Amino acid sequence: MKTAKLYIKNMVCDRCVKVVREELQKLGYDIKSIELGKVEIIGPHQVNKNELERCLTKAGFELLDDSNDKMINEIKSIIINQVHYNEDINQPKENLSQILEKEIGRDYSYISNLFSTIEGRTIAKFIIQQKVEKVKELLKYGELTINEIAFQLNYSSPQYLSNQFKQIMGFRPSQFRTMLEAGRNQLDKV
């Protein structure tokens, strides 16, 4: 049976995958596979791009046609998956540049130059921004120490994590945690 690959911008979480799946099913498409930024549909009927674009745009997504846009979207999806959803802390950490080369099938220098040209920021800056978002999320849960978070996100030291966090946020992770705690009310005061 014939398959078609669709590349969709702004799919950044599991909820996005669910929404895209639901929207495509409403339109009558059979989904072979779906992951962040990419959907493979099967079926005998032709993909109606206009209908698909309208539906996805209404839900906050964008159908990508340009091969460079597709590659940028795939790069972002790989990075987001590795930073936010790679929970296996026991497996040896592979360098993100190696993962990108393997997944994209292109030399890292090409990937990096294309990303910088189109996005106006480096892949390294995007990775740092994603890691800072993950650190904020983990600090909100309050279950891990900064040392444990640094280890989980493959930082060489808690100080390095703290420096990158401060560079993006303007304050250290410990200050962020203190601000979160100051905003909470004790149960007996509610």
95-142: per-residue pLDDT in tens? 889 999 999 999 999 999 999 988 899 999 999 999 999 999 999 988
As a whole-number percent, the residues of the chain with pLDDT over 90 amount to 55
Instruction: State which fold the 3-65 domain adopts.
Output: Alpha-Beta Plaits (3.30.70)
Distance between alpha carbon 60 and the CA centroid of its chain, in Å? 16
Ranges of each domain in the chain:
3-65, 68-181
**Which residues does residue 64 pair with via DSSP β-bridges, in sequence order?**
7
Q: Where are the alpha helices (DSSP H) in the chain?
A: 14-26, 49-58, 67-80, 96-104, 108-119, 123-141, 146-152, 158-169, 173-182
State the pLDDT at residue 64: 83
Query: For residue 114, what are its two tokens?
Result: 């294309």
d(CA 32, CA 50): 21
Question: What CATH number labels 68-181?
Answer: 1.10.10.60
- Same fold: 3-65 with 68-181: no
Predicted TM-score (pTM) of the model is 0.72
pLDDT in tens, 42-79: 876 677 888 888 999 999 998 888 788 889 999 999 99
Total residues found in the chain within this entry:
190
